[in-house]
Amino acid sequence: MSVSRTYETGDPGVPNEYGGYQYWFDNEDLSVDLYVEEPAPDDGFFGQVPAMLMARSRSETQNWEMAEKLYARLARLGRYRLVAFADSGMPIDANFDIGDDW
């Protein structure tokens, strides 16, 4: 598995343009990017979900199948607020009320 240098050294990630950090890893089956920002609860549900995970399949598994399994496993933990988006940017599932002003 190839892992980002910052992940291997324990650094806080690569700073991104939004004031957060980016981590990534990939192997022959998948590629994953994780973007993390500080929580800002007054900023709607995006402030309550300060991390974005983008996983792409490099195997026979479709991206949506991998995303569904990952979402279900994280939701079962009961520790995280999750929002899943379609490729079009439309929210398609959440484990909390995101309201109408997303």
pLDDT of residue 7 exceeding 60, the answer is no
Which has the higher per-residue pLDDT, 17 or 72? 72
Average pLDDT in the 10-34 region?
A: 78
User: Residue type for 62, please?
Assistant: Q
Token readout for 56 is 């792409």
The arithmetic mean of pLDDT across residues 19-38, rounded, is 82
pLDDT at 5: 39
For residue 67, how many other CB atoms are within 10 A of its CB? 19
Looking at per-residue confidence, does 33 or 42 come out higher? 33
Helix (H, G, I), strand (E, B) or coil at 30: strand
Which DSSP helix (H) or strand (E) runs through 85?
A: strand 83-85
Name the nearest CA neighbour of 57 among 67, 46, 47: 67
**Spatial separation of the C-alpha atoms in residues 33 and 19, rounded to whole Å:** 16
